[in-house]
Structure 1
Amino acid sequence: MSASTNHQLMIFLPQVPDLEGRLFCAPYTYAQLIATAQLSASQLQGHTLAFIDSDDALITAWAVLACTFSGINMVWAANGSDNAAQHASRGADIRLADLTLNNQTTLPTLSPDWSASKHVDLPTHCHDITLTLHTSGSSGHPKAITRQLSSIFAEVDAISTELTPTTAVQIGSVSVRHLYGLTFRVCYPLRHGMTIDQQLCRFPEDVIRALARYERVQCISSPTMLSALSRSQVLDTLDERIETITSAGGLLSDAVREKINARLSSPILDVYGSTETGVIAWRRHTDWRAFPKVEIHLNPQQRLVVRSPWCAETFTTADLAYETAHGWHLHGRADAVIKLADKRVSLVALNNDISADSFVDDVHCFVPQGHQHIAAWVALNTDGVQALCEHGRNALITKLRQRVSQTHDRVVIPRYWRFDLTLPRDAQGKLSQKIVEHRFNQPIRAPEWYEHQHQQQQQPYEITLHATIPLDLFYFNGHFDRFPIVPGVVQLHWALEHAQHYFTLPSSLLSVENLKYQEMLRPAAEICLSIAHDHARDKVSFVYHDRTSQQKYASGRLVFGIRT
């Protein structure tokens, strides 16, 4: 689809009061942003498709305006990976990005020149270009969705009936590479002359730091981030700074929504939609209500059917719903309803029942490929981890199975269980099917190790690694079932593996000296492993200790040599 007719500028960027002084993103005003985009637009002449490659909201806003002024279409990748960039950029002839970001394509790169004049004459017309975005690909390969820019700004107008533009600074934890982030973190502020924080808040600590920087904020977030923030006490002290929180990109659980709403003066604005449909509905409590100009009805299978000015055609979603006195209620996805032993089973309902347990923080139920029974992948909270450590895995499974049996038939009770501290959901709150299947099929034989310190300037050479002991470590099986500990021989094996990986050593381990086990190593322990190489004596000393208290778990010395 090529760039189409011209439109008045007000379709995309209405006259912003005090253009010279209105701050878009420190230290740049709207005047500087527009002037920079106009300069870049002149450099884009002759190009047809721009690959936008940035997680930065300021860079993305500049790119959108530059392409709008020049009349060339845009495409985004599903994420920042090499494969996604190479796939999405096929057909593009220029890349728009900050020069600090590595170029994962062969395209020439254009970056903003912020030295452009602050004084600008606004053009009277802009091009209604197309934008191609990619879905997250959680259920397979990312899917390309193409939209008109004018349709996204039409969405912004609908959103503005519930999300009121203010003088608050907008912060965000969702990627501008996806429709939700692009609409709410770029187009919405442009439409209303709001000030933004350009950085993507990837972790709860980033959100908390951003909250502390400004007097008043609008927070554009996701269920995954809000779930993490709900466990932080910092929100209690920063409540007066939060004007509103918007959540979209996935299902926000009732428990998390209620927990955060109880601590804030303004309830969360929960937004329902998709890349295919754009925004559909909103809620602040239980019932969903359609945004203006959105038409909703149910098909015979009770699936939600949507029609709106920004959705190219009537779209049948995979979401099941029923009408209430005040709107709509969603109750799972059609593709999450399976048949087991001739019974229809809602995996969403099963997830909700398990997640309501006092030991559970998150859960994902699924039927593994090649199996006929349900598996549950459960993230335990602090109390759940304590129960696992004190009573063992089997006791925890028995408790959860008993809970499920109160509301479901026996065939629905998960047969397979996996436990972790968190589930690796993406920014949209989704789990990759590939990751889910890998977690089910592959036993965990070691934690993920992260290199913390690497000292090779003097003897002995020393490496310090960080790790968290997995809840489902393979070696817990049969080793004190009711009191899981990491066997000493496994700790010795890990130390040997890392010694051989980091150091050049003789081929054989001859002996272990001064081996001591001072404290039991339990599930969820946050540990450091320090290994030091004495090259002159071909020995490697090691020590496991707690990352916070420095309490030693084990220590010893590995002696290497050549067997004769």
Structure 2
Amino acid sequence: MNEVQFEQLFGYQSDQAIVSHTDRGKISFVQFKYELAFVANELKKTIVKTGVTKVALFCEDSYEFSLLFFAALSCTQSVVIPANNKRFTQQSFGKETLLLGDWANKSAFSVDIPGEYEEDILPPDYFTAEIQLFTSGTSGEPQIIVKTLQQLLNEIITHDKKWPSRIANITILATVSHQHIYGLLFKLLWPVVSGWPFVSKTYVDIVGLLKDASKWSPSVWIASPAQLSRRISSWPWELGKSLTRIFSSGGPLQESDAKAIYDLCGVEPIEVYGSTETGGIAWRNQLRGKQWNPLEGVKVTEARGGLLQVFSPWLPRGFICQDRVKIYEDGSFDLQGRADRIVKLEEKRISLTQIESLLMKDSYIVTAHALTVERKRKAIAIVATLTESGNKILENKGKSFLVRQLRESLSRDLDGVALPRFWRFVNEIPTNTQGKITRDLLMQLFDVMPAAMAPQIISSEFIDSNGKVEFTVNSDLPCLTGHFDASPVVPGVVQLDWAMHFGRPLLKAGSAFSHMEVIKFKQLMMPGDSVILALEFNQEKNRLTYSFRSVNDSGIEYSSGRLCFGHV
């Protein structure tokens, strides 16, 4: 039976204990119980009225999420927790699923909590619904994974036993979302089971997190490797000394990043290895050892093909992962790369993991991620960050020289078809809100404008945050049709598309278009015009400034403006 009692779930010792720090102020346990009772009562009425048995929950605020989550667990059969609330995600659920929280749909369920308490409304006695989570989509399409609340609690109890000495009466702050299993476990369930307050927002501003960590000291930071790697030494890291722990999950943390975080705030990051399918498997502290150590109650073995097999108290049966493994006598283990990242090109099986490993042994590369893209034919593409020496080569000798050097190095170990054809060098690898590197985000870096829509390129040059593209407006561009019959011109919206397209190599990884500023169209751009597109990217403000000027007459400016970006 999957029933979890109210008393099993919530560990707050008094009604005055703080559950969450929210935009509405501090939420006490007695207030939380009332609000949960009200939401559960209203949701139950809607469930009875609509007859649905499944809900899909997306909510940016962790406290508001918690009310809807626990209410739904008490009165539905299935609670689906998607990674996002995009239109395609919403449409995939169908009409039989009730939407809860933040959706672009007027029929989505939400309630306004009244200010007056009604003592006869009581919170649910037990929670029984199944929980449907989604894999991160790092190596393919996201898959649905079904969990029970009891499975998640079993893992939480293990974590609570593992790190009890310095984690008492603390506040949980997170830069990861509760919409993924790691955030759900560490940001929400662990604090409510242990009776700790959690901050309802998901931080995007590390400076703000450090200030709040000091304000609500002692505190714990729930982070991801990508977030820990994006650090600026001038941030007030001395405030981070109020942190008792920093946890990281979602991918391997670079040892250099672990050491840098320790040097800045005196906290050794703890990495947790696991997946949506398995939950937590192991942990490590790279400053004390590189091997992974299984969590208490977890047994790891080597299955056929050298794959990691996991048995744990929060799994109904053993699970074979797609990670290759080397297990040591003391039970610790090393990961040897993914086995499921095999692609077939021209009848040859190619390991993307092998390509990445070879590149990261090169003195020019820090991190590398391989994927396949399809243009006229399928080929290997690489997104990579560069070492200092790699950046110097890029700046002084150009991208073509650097790529040629890397391909020559790879050719010693790889067949020609396995050599990457497409390359993107970025300051940061793009990640989603869970700190995951997904194929969808990497593919955005390889957006290619259809040939029919592109002008005739004469030359292009990109150095650091500046770019320059020289082209001729050819007369067969389809965008010229209708603008105007007697005198065709390049529409303003097409010029914006060109600025976005050619400026993409300068952008921060994972940048998402936000809005435009100071857009000006000054001169008609016509077939036969020779044009220079000048680009300049402001890293600090995440702004791309562009200007189209005539090659023949530097006094003519066709258009200019600024494209503004946020982060995916």
TM range, smaller chain: 0.7 to 0.9
Superposed, 1:155-554 pairs within 5 Å as 155-164=155-164, 165-202=167-204, 204=206, 207=209, 210-211=212-213, 214-229=216-231, 232-234=233-235, 236-285=237-286, 286-326=290-330, 327-336=332-341, 346-355=351-360, 359-368=364-373, 374-380=380-386, 384-401=390-407, 404=410, 408=413, 414-421=419-426, 422-434=428-440, 436=442, 439-440=445-446, 442=448, 486-487=467-468, 489-490=470-471, 524=506, 530-532=518-520, 547=538
2:458 touches 2:470 (CA, 8 Å); kept in 1? no
Query: How far 1:76 sits from its partner (Å)?
Result: 1.8
Q: Distance in 2 between matches of 1:91 and 1:522?
A: 40
TM-score for the superposition, normalised by structure 2: 0.73
* CA distance in 2 between partners of 1:319 and 1:551 (Å): 43
The equivalent of 1:39 in structure 2 is 38
Change (3 A) 1:194 1:127: same
Name the % identity.
21
**How many residue pairs end up in the alignment?**
502
- Residue in structure 2 matched with residue 19 of structure 1 by the alignment: 15
| Inter-CA distance 141–485: structure 2 relative to 1 (3 Å threshold) | closer
Matching residue's letter, 1:11: Q
User: Distance in 2 between the 1:340 and 1:545 partners?
Assistant: 38
CA distance in 1, matches of 2:214, 2:416: 50
* Contact kept in structure 1, 2:309 and 2:318, CA below 8 Å: yes
Structure 1 residues 85-107: Cα deviation after superposition (integer angstroms, max 9, x where no partner): 232465324x432xxx4x33464
User: Do the aligned residues in 1 keep the contact of 2:61 with 2:202 (CA within 8 Å)?
Assistant: yes
3-state secondary structure, aligned to 1:161? helix
CA distance in 2 between partners of 1:280 and 1:296 (Å) = 8
| 1:441-499 Cα shifts (integer Å, max 9, x gaps) | 72699xxxxxxxxxxxxxxxxxxxxxxxxxxx999985579999855645x97xxx9xx
Aligned to 2:87: 82
Partner AA of 1:426 in structure 2: N
**What is the match of residue 460 of structure 1?**
none
Q: CA deviation at 1:78?
A: 2.7
**1:17: how far off?**
2.0
Question: What runs of 5+ residues in structure 2 fail to find an aligned partner?
Answer: 48-52, 491-502, 509-515, 524-532, 560-568
CA contact (8 A) 1:128 1:150 kept: no
CA distance in 2, matches of 1:224, 1:10: 37
Q: Is the 8 A contact 1:339 1:345 kept in 2?
A: yes
The answer to whether the Cα contact below 8 Å between 1:222 and 1:427 also exists between their aligned partners in 2 is no
* Gap regions ≥5 residues in structure 1: 446-472, 511-520, 536-541
Which secondary structure state, in structure 1, belongs to the residue aligned with residue 326 of structure 2? strand
CA contact (8 A) 1:37 1:65 kept: yes
Deviation at 1:216, TM superposition (A): 3.7
Match of residue 29 from structure 1: 28
* Partner SS, residue 351 of structure 1: helix
Secondary structure at the counterpart of residue 59 of structure 1 = helix
Q: Which amino acid aligns with 1:297?
A: T
| Equivalent residue letter for 1:276 | E
Q: Which amino acid aligns with 2:315?
A: C
Structure-2 change in CA distance of 1:475 and 1:255 (3 Å)? farther
Question: What's the offset of the Cα at 1:131?
Answer: 1.3
Corresponding letter in the other structure for 2:37 = Q
The code of the aligned residue for 1:22 comes to I
1:91-102 residue pairs with structure 2 within 5 A?
91-93=96-98, 95-97=99-101, 101=102
CA 1:82/1:37 → structure 2, altered by over 3 Å: closer, same or farther? Answer: same
SS at match of 1:224: helix
Task: Tell me which residue corresponds to 2:134.
Answer: 134
Moved more, 380-389 or 276-285: 380-389
C-alpha deviation, 1:362, in angstroms: 3.3
Matched residues in 2 for 1:387 and 1:430: separation? 29
1:328–1:412 Cα change, 3 Å: farther
1:10 alignment counterpart: 7
Partner of 1:448: none
Q: What amino acid is aligned across from residue 27 of structure 1 in structure 2? A: K
Question: Which residue identity lines up with residue 44 of structure 1 in the other structure?
Answer: L
TM-score, length basis structure 1: 0.73
3-state SS of paired residue (1:55)? coil
Give the superposition deviation at 1:396: 1.7
> Deviation at 1:44?
2.5
Q: SS of 1:44's equivalent? A: helix
- Distance of 2:346 and 2:242 partners within structure 1: 53
Cα distance change, pair 359–169 in 1 and its aligned pair in 2 (3 A)? farther
Query: Which string of whole-angstrom CA distances, capped at 9 and with x for unpartnered residues, describes residues 397-416 of structure 1?
Result: 2443465568x456597342
Q: CA deviation at 1:277?
A: 1.4
What SS class does the counterpart of residue 184 from structure 2 fall into? helix
